Amino acid sequence: MHDIEMFTAISGDRNPLHYGEELANTTKFGGVIVQGGVTSAILNAVVAEKMPGPGTVFLHLDWNFRTPVRPGDKITGTVEVIKVRTDKPITELKTTETCEDGTVALEGKAPCSTMSLRRLAG
């Protein structure tokens, strides 16, 4: 719940589905769900830190949230390069977030721009 509280403070997203247990229990979700921004943030870390890596930024996001993530769920973010442009430093990624039980929580595509850190520093 701490992540939800922190994201709420930063974003202003005070949707009671994210922290109002009594109300959230009466919805189709059957309980509190984590904000999409919290859920998808793991992909920011994967892209910026691992692959393609430092200097990479998202250009566009085409994500489908398939199932809600609940507080305490463990999720894994994965990316796969599906296209590389040869004329520009742009890659298209397949993005997926999977819950510990194997359920896909988020999937989609995201084109990214990747600059070398040497170029960024100069």
Task: Please report, for the domain that includes residue 87, its CATH number.
Answer: 3.10.129.10
Is 122 part of any domain?
no
Q: For the chain, report the end-to-end CA distance as a whole number of angstroms.
A: 41
DSSP strand E in the chain: where? 56-58, 62-65, 75-84, 90-99, 104-114
Count up the domains in the chain and report the number. Answer: 1
Is 90 part of any domain?
yes
Task: Give 96 or 52, the one with higher predicted confidence.
Answer: 96
Predicted local confidence at residue 120, as pLDDT: 47
Task: Give 53 or 85, the one with higher predicted confidence.
Answer: 85
The verdict on pTM exceeding 0.95 is no
Structure tokens at 112: 């990214």
Task: Give 8 or 101, the one with higher predicted confidence.
Answer: 101
User: Taking residues 17-21, what's their average pLDDT?
Assistant: 85
| Domain coverage including residue 93 | 2-115
Is 44 part of any domain?
yes
Is 120 part of any domain?
no
Residue 82 neighbours by CB under 8 Å, 6+ apart: 92, 93, 94, 109
Is 121 part of any domain?
no
Q: Is the pLDDT of residue 44 over 50?
A: yes
Is 31 part of any domain?
yes
